[in-house]
Structure 1
Amino acid sequence: MSKAPTTAAIDVRGLNKSFGDKHVVRDVSIRVETGRITGFLGPNGAGKTTTLRLLCGLLTPDSGEGQVLGLNFRTQSDAIKRQTGYMTQRFSLYEDMTIQENLDFVARVYGLDNMKGRVTGALDHLGLGDRRDQLAGALSGGWKQRLALAAATLHDPKLLLLDEPTAGVDPKARREFWDEIHDLADQGLTVLVSTHYMDEAERCHDIGYILHGQLIARGTAQEIIAKSGLVTFNGEGPDIGRIVRDLEHKPGVLSASAFGAAVHVSGTDRAALERAIAPYRKAPFAWTEANPSLEDVFIQLMGDKADDRYAA
């Protein structure tokens, strides 16, 4: 299947949602092109999952306008849901049923044609064929993840939502999962994924950072880092980690963290940052300027340092 021409799979403006007196999503506007993998990052309770559910019609917004998959996302939510796959963070299939029984059940729920062929194809594609008679509850985290992905894509959706999909999964399974997600995107599937892992965010084509219900950063990882204005120094030396507590309280230091035998220090005021590390710029320590990481930027954002630099 060749990739479709680039068009907007999602183009929504002014998205708002409150639960009682808690304003969970605040005036979010977002555009996602077809076949793109967009990552949503932010602390717990920031509004990531609620935003995903609003976009696919699982929740009704208080306000907002626009289209998802060419459909009015407020008045045609049922049609959007039929074209959406959703993989929740918590394994949500039946643990007392086999892999095949779970997929057969999902196929019947969707009323799919050629159910046997679809299920067999999904089993073979994700390497589940030899385990088809194994109970889902007996699977490891990585195999449960494969089964959940098979179920979420069995009906050939145009939009796939992944909510913390690799929590508790080993690194090898995580890599294989992301390889599969990129293969699906190459075939034209649009993917929205919430994650806390910085390396996973960098695997996305672009990302958005949500804080207090607002989308405060949007773009590729490189674009967001470039807009941050951060300066970062890397210090190395014996027992250098002991200086972190002193550095993190110095004027101009937004973050100071130990990484093995090194210390990573970031801030937006170069002069202030250099004054902060000046007492330690001598033997046995060695300092070099480094490129800021995505984690550095998000620590900055979580500290309420965001401003108009991060506008989409």
Structure 2
Amino acid sequence: LSFYAGVYGVYERAHLENTLDRLGLRGVLDERVGALPVGWRQRLALATAIVHRPRLLFLDEPTSGVDPTARRDFWDLIYEFVAEGVTAMVTTHYMDEAEYCNRVGIMSRGRLLALDTAAALKKQALPGLAWDVFAEPLLPALRLLEGLPGVLRAGLAGDHLRAVTRPEVRRGDLTRPLKAQGMQRVRAARVEPTLEDVFLALAGE
């Protein structure tokens, strides 16, 4: 950290001490960087990025490989920097993290496909309706759902299926064919679209 501070011409010991405290790094001062867990190495990388008090901060997947608690801590720190007037540009493949940003750019294969607030993207970029569909057994239900009229895309989502349909599709259009094929515990519910839905719609994947 002292090395990077020197590269940027920062020699104030008090500022280095403050950076260590802010990133919670005092507990690992005697550790070799290569021996640190991924989460701690990410914290150190963030410390080297802010040690010279930048007004513009580029963070390339800063939470990749860290646990959920560490991810939340990172975003708390990013919010603190933004509150102090820093502009933060963050790349992430976690769509739930993108929701934290004031503006979101959707990119695929090097092309910027859309740029707006998360709420606006979900309202404008999704071509239809989003549904959570429950049925057993799951994989046969998925294959059937993918072939139904009006279904633009369907996929697994944990213990259920996620479908995006044309606006005119109704709940019964999804549940009746599943029940007719002997699927059990069939139900479907309209849900708010996610940025993942938006990305898949825009990227055509």
Alignment TM-score > 0.5, same fold: yes
Q: CA deviation at 1:219?
A: 1.2
Q: Which letter does structure 1 place at the counterpart of 2:165?
A: G
Aligned residue in 2 for 1:293: 194
SS at match of 2:136: coil
How far, CA to CA, are the matches of 2:23 and 2:186 in structure 1?
49
Q: How does 1:136-151 map to 2 (within 5 A)?
A: 136-151=33-48
Q: Is the 8 A contact 2:171 2:189 kept in 1?
A: no
How far, CA to CA, are the matches of 1:107 and 1:261 in structure 2?
49
How far, CA to CA, are the matches of 1:212 and 1:252 in structure 2?
28
The match for 1:155 among 52, 57, 78 is 52
Alignment RMSD: 2.1
The match for 1:203 among 71, 79, 100 is 100
Aligned residue in 2 for 1:170: 67
Aligned residue in 1 for 2:153: 255
Bigger relative contact order, structure 1 or 2 (CA pairs below 8 A, ≥6 apart):
1
How far, CA to CA, are the matches of 1:260 and 1:145 in structure 2?
29
Aligned residue in 2 for 1:27: none
In the alignment, does 2:137 pair up with 1:239? yes
How far, CA to CA, are the matches of 2:26 and 2:116 in structure 1?
39
Q: CA deviation at 1:258?
A: 2.1
Indicate the structure with greater helix content: 2
How far, CA to CA, are the matches of 2:121 and 2:179 in structure 1?
29
Q: Is the 8 A contact 2:104 2:117 kept in 1?
A: yes
In the alignment, does 2:163 pair up with 1:265? yes
TM-score with structure 2 setting the length: 0.88
| Identity across matched positions, percent | 40
Structure 2: where are the runs of 5+ without partners?
Answer: none
Q: Which letter does structure 1 place at the counterpart of 2:91?
A: S
Q: Is the 8 A contact 2:175 2:187 kept in 1?
A: no
Q: Is the 8 A contact 2:174 2:188 kept in 1?
A: no
TM-score with structure 1 setting the length: 0.60
Structure 1: where are the runs of 5+ without partners?
Answer: 1-102, 305-312
> Which aligned segments of 4 or more residues in structure 1 are displaced greater than 4 angstroms?
272-277
The match for 1:217 among 81, 89, 114 is 114
How far, CA to CA, are the matches of 1:260 and 1:110 in structure 2?
47
How far, CA to CA, are the matches of 2:179 and 2:56 in structure 1?
51
Q: Which letter does structure 1 place at the counterpart of 2:142?
A: V
Q: CA deviation at 1:213?
A: 3.3
Q: 1:194 to 1:273 in 2, by over 3 A?
A: farther
Q: CA deviation at 1:281?
A: 5.3
Q: Is the 8 A contact 1:255 1:296 kept in 2?
A: no
Q: CA deviation at 1:263?
A: 1.4
How far, CA to CA, are the matches of 1:125 and 1:258 in structure 2?
40
Q: 1:105 to 1:145 in 2, by over 3 A?
A: same
How far, CA to CA, are the matches of 2:85 and 2:200 in structure 1?
33
How far, CA to CA, are the matches of 2:158 and 2:21 in structure 1?
42
Q: Is the 8 A contact 2:144 2:178 kept in 1?
A: no
How far, CA to CA, are the matches of 1:250 and 1:286 in structure 2?
15
SS at match of 2:169: helix
Q: CA deviation at 1:254?
A: 2.4
Q: CA deviation at 1:245?
A: 2.2
How far, CA to CA, are the matches of 1:231 and 1:280 in structure 2?
19
SS at match of 2:151: coil
How far, CA to CA, are the matches of 1:104 and 1:177 in structure 2?
22
The match for 2:24 among 127, 133, 142 is 127
Q: CA deviation at 1:239?
A: 2.2
- Length, aligned pairs only: 201
How far, CA to CA, are the matches of 1:270 and 1:295 in structure 2?
22
Aligned residue in 2 for 1:89: none
SS at match of 1:285: strand
Q: 1:170 to 1:191 in 2, by over 3 A?
A: same
